[in-house]
Chains A and B, each alone.
Chain A
Amino acid sequence: MQATTSLDVKRYGARLVWTLLGLAFTGLVFAAALGTGQDAVTILSIFSTRFLGIFIEAAPFLLLGTLASGVIEAFVTQADVVRWLPRNPVLATLGGTFMGFAFPVCECGVVPVARRLFTKGLPMSVGVAFLMAAPVMNPVVLVSTYIAFGTISPAIFVGRFVLTALIATAIGLVFALAARPQDVLRPQNFAPVMGGSAEAASTPAPRRALLPGLIFALKTAGDEFFEMGRYLIIGSLLAAAMQTLVSQEVLLALGRGPVVSVLVMQMLAFLLSVCSTVDAFLALAFVGTFTTGSLISFLTFGPMVDIKSTLMFAGVFNRRTVAYLVVLPFLMALFAGIWMNLNLSF
């Protein structure tokens, strides 16, 4: 971690952030221009409501995620994580897929937790399976998806969890074969210091007493909120700009073909970046118009990858790995959705 590397990383990160901010505001300007006879103030008001809606709904989940992450940093030692996991790499990866039930986080919160666990010595394959699956494999999403689809379309409810488990485990296993942490993570994330706290480095992680541990967890969570919050905010800005810009009708017109519908829903999942705990209700609005396979792909792919989680991945993994983490789930969910549309009658 020479000064040059960190400077490059820093400059690259800053440039990415500012480019995206610029894009969001360009989108706003376009929205204002396209708004049929509507003045900029109205557009800005609608944009603001949409942005704050996403932010207010998502921020508590992000906070819970960073808090879980801080608690893990303060109280969980490397030995704990390793002890919990099966020795067999395949079984361990499966464990990663279902670990979300122990760390209930949505896709806003999963990245900080996964990042912490990596620095605690979690194997890559397990961490990646966790990263992909946890936003779906948790009690909150289980309940919300059941409420949305349990009676109307049990196939979507079951399909979401089965497909998520399959894809997450498969991607985890790809990383089990191929990757060492230093090939995958951005340099600062496998170093002992992270999250900007030098104390973490100097403390050789004996278990902390409760109160100092809690204070440490809160400090860590505060740092992490700023680290991760910017991605949530930029993602929400983009999503709100898109919603204010693109008419839903245009998207819907694309939607009945067995292939096109899946592509459209996955793009929509990526762009909308709606939290995994509530995306089932959003999907409900498409039940009448879109193919069942496309909805299952939407509910599987969206929690794994969307605008804001991609931005968060970029803070943790190197660029090549980010590309894998976006493209692999996209292709797997796409083929699964198309296959279901062509071969299953729901």
Chain B
Amino acid sequence: MQAAHSHDHEHEHTPSAPAQAWVKTGLLLGLALYFLYNIVSGNLTNYINIRFSWLAYIAVAIFGALGAVSAYDLLRARRAEQAHDDHDHYHNHDHVSWPVLFITAIPLLLGTLIPSQPLGASAIDGNISTNVVAVSSMSTLGSDPLQWNVLDWLRAFNKSTNLAEFNNQPADVIGFVYREPDFAEDTFMVARFTISCCVADANAIGLPVVWPDNVALDDSQWVRVSGTFTLGAFRGQQIPLLVATAVEIVEQPKHPYLYP
């Protein structure tokens, strides 16, 4: 709306496209490239549920189209100007003010200047749950329990009426190491973030793991834990503890979040 008015004061006698119009075009095309980069690099999974990745394709297409039209406008204006055609000079009239351009550049700046990382142990801040509501889409729960992830196990615990049934049940899960000062010395949590849509609704969940050597593990380190469950007490709650037989350091998985 500022644009409609600024044109009265500033634009009337400007023969060529103002710098703002070039920046605006650059931002639109830059955002298209940024979304494309997120898709190609796989960084998209740091931000949103992969189920919604088609949204990023839409963004690439629309940002690209908007940028292309904007560029076409600029180039046409320049050609007209070179031909000294006073009548057809740049008349897009859409001055976007510098503050607005700056604000619109913020996602691009943060996205390119700060290395893309998923939420990890440092983002939990004490807010981690072992209690997961069992939802309808328990598709994986039919399969081999050794394939179950942290979320599947917590759902199974939540659904169970007798937690002792998990005693001696073997498990093999991947997550990152999370510890609080009040954890017993031989205990850490193998944790994941779950996201439904995007990191705005991220929740940290974790399985308590008993592993006497855990001091050797760094916080936030991605690990693969195998072992068997034994019902025990964790932070005053009865829950199957994963007594580890092996803890292996692994790369951060391609999909860092779990999708409920």
Contact = CB atoms under 8 A, between A and B. Distances in A.
A13 B196 contact: no
A272 B198 CA distance: 12
Contacts of B199: 49-50, 53-54
Interface residues of B, number: 71
A188 B91 CA distance: 20
B94 A196 contact: yes
Contacts of A198: 4, 7, 91, 93
B69 interface: yes
Contacts of B260: 281, 284
Nearest to A67: B62
Contacts of A55: 107
Nearest to A229: B104
A46 B118 CA distance: 8
Nearest to B119: A49
Contacts of A270: none
Contacts of B139: none
Nearest to A6: B5
A254 interface: no
Interface in A1-43: 1, 3, 6-7, 9-10, 13-14, 17-18, 21, 35-36, 38, 42
A194 B111 contact: no
Given A56-B55, A288-B131, 18 more contacts: A7-B5, A10-B6, A17-B99, A52-B110, A54-B198, A57-B55, A63-B58, A150-B136, A152-B135, A188-B1, A196-B4, A198-B91, A218-B65, A221-B62, A229-B104, A237-B106, A281-B260, A282-B196
B69 A222 contact: yes
A285 interface: yes
Contact of A52 (B4, B6, B111, B122): B111
Interface string B8-52: 110000000000000010001001000100100000101110001
B106 A233 contact: yes
B44 A13 contact: no
B107 A52 contact: yes
Contacts of A277: 197
Nearest to B125: A247
Contacts of B111: 48, 52
Contacts of A239: 200
Nearest to B4: A196
B9 A3 contact: yes
B73 A219 contact: yes
Given A284-B133, A288-B133, A278 B62 contact: no
B145 interface: no
A56 B47 contact: yes
18 contacts: A1-B5, A6-B5, A10-B5, A45-B117, A49-B46, A49-B118, A53-B200, A54-B199, A57-B197, A61-B55, A188-B4, A218-B65, A218-B66, A222-B66, A233-B103, A278-B198, A284-B196, A285-B133
Interface string A77-101: 0000000000000000000000000
B70 A57 contact: no
Counting chain B CB atoms within 10 Å of each CB, the highest count among A18, A188, A247, A281 belongs to A281
A63 B63 contact: yes
Contacts of A151: 136
Shortest beta-carbon contacts, A-B, top 5? A281-B196, A196-B3, A53-B199, A278-B197, A57-B198
Interface in A291-315: 315
Interface string A188-214: 110001111110000000000000000
B196 A57 contact: no
Contact of A233 (B97, B104, B125): B104
Nearest to A194: B4
Question: B interface, by DSSP: helix, strand, loop or mixed?
Answer: helix
A21 B106 CA distance: 11
A59 B59 contact: yes
A44 interface: yes
A227 to B, nearest CB: 7
A132 interface: no
A36 B123 CA distance: 11
Interface string B95-122: 1110111011011001100111111001
A14 B3 CA distance: 12
Nearest to B20: A226
A59 B131 CA distance: 32
A226 B46 contact: no
B161 interface: no
A293 to B, nearest CB: 18
A342 interface: no
B237 interface: no
A284 B135 contact: yes
Interface in A95-138: none
Nearest to A11: B2
A333 interface: no
Given A198-B91, A218-B65, A282 B104 contact: no
Nearest to B136: A151
A257 interface: no
A226 B24 contact: yes
Given A18-B99, A54-B198, A198-B91, A222 B35 contact: no
B214 interface: no
Nearest to A227: B1
